[in-house]
Amino acid sequence: MINDNSITFFPKVNKTEVFILLKAFLFFFFVLASWYALRPVRNELAVQGGIYNLPWLLIGVMIAMLLVNPIYSWLISRINQSKLIIYIYSFFIFNLCLFLALWTFTGDEGRVWTGRAFYIWANVFSFFVVSIFWVVMINFFNHTDSKRFFGIISAGGSMGAFFGSTVARYFSTEICGNTSISDLGPMSLIVFSVISLSCAIFFSTSFKPKGKGIDNTPEIGGSSLDAFQNILKDPLIRNLGFYVILFTLLMTTSWMISLGIVQDWSQDPCERTAFFARIEQIVTPLTLVMQLFLASYILRKIGSLAVLSIYGLLFTIAFIAYAFYPTISTVMMVVISLRIFEYGLNKPTREAIYTKLNQQDRYKSTVFIDTFLARSGDVIGGWFVRGLVGAGIAILSVTWAALPFAMLISFMGYKIGKSTEK
């Protein structure tokens, strides 16, 4: 047990914990490396398609999440939980190979539709591979250990994100500048992502769910609709779901405003892709510092209530900055600040809260929240912006309309924190 009166910035780790913590660190490293290599390509495809077409793509993402979640829930009710990562990550590797083939053998017109499909699929990919990773973690570590270790484990993901975005930036500048973002760049990044995800599978084998007989029987059970039903039944799960909807709504609103500024700043796809990758490179080391040296300390010292409640203030500052200073520098500062807080502190806090849920909810409800409900927030945010702009409101004026949602997320964060810290 840790003595809270002698808390240091870096959590105490005994010798028996070092090896397993290192494996978790590397596991998450390769998960996020696989995604962040693809992320700038997805972002560029969003800009190429026009920011006001983004809400339609987000609807496609939400529909995909709605279709996939019952399948996942049905699958997890029946398979051996120790094989979860192998089955699901192998499925996504197959998908990546399919996109690689499509990019290789289709012409320019075919690549347009491949790009749209890839945008939708990439969002499904990112949320599922990350959510499933955290499902494994919250079923392996208890609540006390989660407060100690999740910051460090998240740091592994940040280093993987930095590595993946560095690879992406290389291909967007050294290669894209000579060919096209729709040619060799995506193909190379897909190959890289396949290799990274394969390495993640290798490290995942050390993290089997704890519980009697878990290696031999799928103990979850239930039906494919459990995740839907649990949202309605459990107040904590419902509040967490609403919090995630609000957070993604605000993130999407902020993102669409930033895309408009980026689009006005440059008409060069390679320059924009390099800009997106550069943001990731800045975010990662700063997030790493937060995760390694501050997250565990802050979470143990001030608790989840303060962490979850402060989000609204950050969004308020971001929207006001966009309203008064709509520049590329503001985009960089806002995006960097919001992501550091999300990945460095808010996400580990939510995952620590998830460890308090029962086993079925940890496997089903958390994934439903982090996939379908998160994408629902994206859709609401996308159509919120599109609707206001369609009504004649300038996109930069949308910032003022988003402020009530910023206040609401702080209230929900306070409510969740109050219920979990009793």
Span 20-38, pLDDT tens digits: 888 999 999 999 999 888 8
pLDDT digits (tens, 9 = 90+) for 228-268: 666 777 888 888 999 999 999 999 899 888 888 888 887 77
* pLDDT tier, 119 (very low <50, low <70, confident <90, very high otherwise): confident
Query: Once rounded to an integer, what is the mean pLDDT over residues 188-195?
Result: 86
Long-range Cβ pairs for the range 268-271 (8 Å, 24+): 269/44, 269/47, 269/48, 269/176, 269/181, 270/172, 270/173, 270/176, 270/177, 270/181
pTM for the structure as a whole: 0.69
- Positive or negative, the Cα torsion across 375, 376, 381, 384? positive
Cβ-in-10-Å burial (0-12, 13-18, 19+) of 120 comes to buried
Q: Give the separation between CA 362 and CA 367, rounded to whole angstroms.
A: 8
The full DSSP string for 52-103 is GGHHHHHHHHHHHHHHHHHHHHHHHTTS-GGGHHHHHHHHHHHHHHHHHHHH
pLDDT above 90 (res 408)? yes
Give me the pLDDT at residue 389, please.
81
DSSP code, position 302:
H
- Which comes out higher in pLDDT, residue 45 or 208? 208
Neighbours of 262 (CB within 10 A): 20
Third-level CATH fold of 12-208+222-420: Growth Hormone; Chain: A; (1.20.1250)
| Residue ranges of domains in the chain | 12-208+222-420
pLDDT digits (tens, 9 = 90+) for 311-349: 889 999 999 999 898 889 999 999 999 988 988 888 888
pLDDT digits (tens, 9 = 90+) for 261-282: 888 887 776 677 678 778 877 8
| Both tokens assigned to 71 | 């399948």
Give me the pLDDT at residue 5, please.
43
pLDDT digits (tens, 9 = 90+) for 39-73: 776 766 655 555 566 667 777 887 888 788 777 77
pLDDT digits (tens, 9 = 90+) for 377-407: 888 888 888 888 878 787 778 889 999 999 9
- Asked whether 314 and 337 are in contact (CB, 8 A), the reply is yes
pLDDT above 70 (res 179)? no
Neighbours of 392 (CB within 10 A): 7
pLDDT above 90 (res 197)? yes
Q: Among residues of the chain, what percentage have pLDDT more than 70?
A: 78
Average pLDDT score over the chain: 78
pLDDT above 80 (res 81)? no
Name the 3-class secondary structure at 262. Answer: helix
Give me the pLDDT at residue 244, please.
92
Give me the pLDDT at residue 50, please.
57
pLDDT above 90 (res 198)? yes
